[in-house]
């Protein structure tokens, strides 16, 4: 079968793991994706995914899968300017059955924006949201919700090191970011690193997406550190090698995460995590998954003290992972029937294989 795959292709760790997962779940399927050479690096060793070329319009696709996270956000500049909506509308002419999985809706401000997408999701064969809030906005006979796709991802286990992982973001003009005080946010993370340095821990600043300037944020935070803290802190940037990045991340004993998937990966790996929510997709997910720890909104993070951050680590806060992993399979129930399924006894996701 030939499947048109739509996703966010900009070397963002979470989205790259989505693409890797679905390709390995269905190795007998040929996937085609619109992706530049620069951002195709993470997928070069996947034999069943292909870049578009000038002849792609002649391919007769069996179906289309939209896989992602925050693909349906209201643009800063206009009420309806979403490439996934526009692409979908044009492909409806060719009657390609479309399945949407792993997504949340918003942030959005205009009720008209939500109204337009209500009709949009009705036209898809099936949509599986990744949080209950998004599902409640559009619940219909062809929609459901399940925990994030990456709870299906079989993560390797590593011996833990006395290292704290901090995932940071940069305040820029991309959609989905609120108006918050970046300097105060950075100062809080600097203070955390200084405290952990004094306690004898090392710290890694993780940049999940260079295009969205996580690496710049990490460098700015690093430059604010004291001499001693700098010598116990590293910056780790995701540049297309999923497993190399995961190896360093999963050795951590604690995660303070701003990136959505820094939180999901920590929960999946049973690493205690303190989430810093930069928009409501994070709080909606945490509420949907019955997270039993504390979290902070990025606009109010300066009100959170070191002892507050330590609560989740000391109490080993997390989720009911067995139930979450089972429910997360719902993203693929219909696709397994259509695309041939996979062998549950022998998982095809092997994170030890170099990518």
Starting from the edge strand earliest in sequence, which strands make up the sheet with 63-67, in order? 49-51, 30-33, 2-6, 63-67, 98-103, 126-129, 143-145
Spatial separation of the C-alpha atoms in residues 91 and 174, rounded to whole Å: 27
Q: What is the pLDDT of residues 126-175, one digit of tens each?
A: 999 999 999 999 998 899 999 999 999 999 999 999 999 999 999 998 88
Spatial separation of the C-alpha atoms in residues 143 and 259, rounded to whole Å: 26
**Buried residues in 311-343 as b, exposed as e (16+ CB within 10 A):** ebbeeebbbeeeebbebbeebbebbeebbeebe
Is the pLDDT reported for residue 83 higher than 50? yes
What integer is the mean pLDDT of 279-288?
Answer: 97
Contact indicator for 257, 275 with CB cutoff of 8 Å: yes
- Identify the helix (H) or strand (E) that includes residue 102: strand 98-103
Spatial separation of the C-alpha atoms in residues 343 and 137, rounded to whole Å: 34
Q: What is the pLDDT of residues 216-244, one digit of tens each?
A: 999 999 999 999 999 999 999 999 999 99
- Of 243, 253, 182, 250, which Cα lies nearest the Cα of 214? 182
Residue reference for tokens 């992706």? 35
For residue 108, the 8-state DSSP code is -
Contact indicator for 278, 303 with CB cutoff of 8 Å: no
Report the Cα 55 to chain-centroid distance in Å.
31
Q: Which two tokens stand for residue 211?
A: 């295009």
pLDDT at 93: 42
Spatial separation of the C-alpha atoms in residues 257 and 188, rounded to whole Å: 13
Q: What is the pLDDT of residues 262-278, one digit of tens each?
A: 999 999 999 999 999 99
Spatial separation of the C-alpha atoms in residues 121 and 84, rounded to whole Å: 12
Contact indicator for 255, 5 with CB cutoff of 8 Å: no
For residue 124, the 8-state DSSP code is S
CB count in 10 Å sphere of residue 6: 20
Q: What is the pLDDT of residues 313-339, one digit of tens each?
A: 999 999 999 999 999 999 999 999 999
* Residues above pLDDT 90, as percent of the chain: 80
pLDDT at 52: 81
Contact indicator for 184, 197 with CB cutoff of 8 Å: no
Is the pLDDT reported for residue 342 higher than 80? no
Phi, psi (5° rounding) for residue 129? Answer: -80, 165
* pTM of the full structure: 0.93
């Amino acid at each position: 079968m030939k499947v048109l795959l739509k996703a966010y292709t900009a070397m963002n760790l979470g989205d790259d793991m989505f693409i890797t997962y679905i390709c390995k779940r269905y190795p007998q399927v040929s996937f085609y994706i619109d992706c530049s050479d620069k951002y195709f690096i993470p997928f070069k060793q996947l034999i069943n995914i292909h870049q578009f070329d000038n002849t792609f319009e002649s391919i007769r696709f069996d179906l289309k899968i939209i896989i992602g996270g925050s693909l349906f956000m209201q643009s800063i500049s206009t009420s309806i300017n979403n490439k996934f909506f526009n692409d979908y509308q044009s492909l409806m002419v060719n009657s390609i059955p479309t399945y949407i999985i792993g997504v949340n809706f918003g942030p959005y401000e205009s009720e008209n924006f939500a109204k337009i997408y209500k009709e949009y999701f009705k036209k898809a064969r099936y949509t599986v949201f990744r949080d209950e809030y998004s599902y409640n906005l559009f619940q219909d006979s062809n929609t459901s919700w399940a925990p994030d796709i990456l709870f299906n991802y079989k993560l390797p286990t590593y011996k833990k090191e006395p290292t704290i992982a901090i995932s940071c973001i940069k305040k820029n003009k991309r959609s989905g970011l609120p108006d918050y005080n970046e300097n105060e946010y950075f100062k809080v993370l600097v203070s955390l690193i200084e405290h952990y340095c004094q306690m004898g821990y090392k710290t890694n600043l993780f940049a999940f997406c260079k295009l969205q300037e996580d690496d710049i944020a990490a460098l700015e935070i690093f430059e604010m550190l004291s001499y001693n803290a700098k010598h116990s802190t590293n910056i780790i940037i995701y540049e297309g090698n999923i497993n190399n990045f995961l190896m360093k991340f999963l050795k951590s004993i604690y995660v303070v995460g701003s990136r959505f998937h820094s939180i999901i990966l920590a929960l999946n790996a049973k690493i205690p995590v303190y989430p810093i929510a930069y928009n409501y997709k994070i709080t909606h997910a945490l509420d949907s998954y019955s997270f039993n720890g504390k979290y902070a909104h990025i606009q109010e993070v300066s009100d959170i003290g070191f002892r507050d951050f330590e609560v989740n680590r000391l109490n080993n806060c997390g989720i009911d992972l067995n139930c979450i992993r089972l429910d997360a399979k719902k993203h693929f129930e219909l696709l397994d029937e259509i695309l041939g399924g996979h062998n549950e006894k022998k998982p095809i996701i092997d994170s030890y294989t170099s990518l």
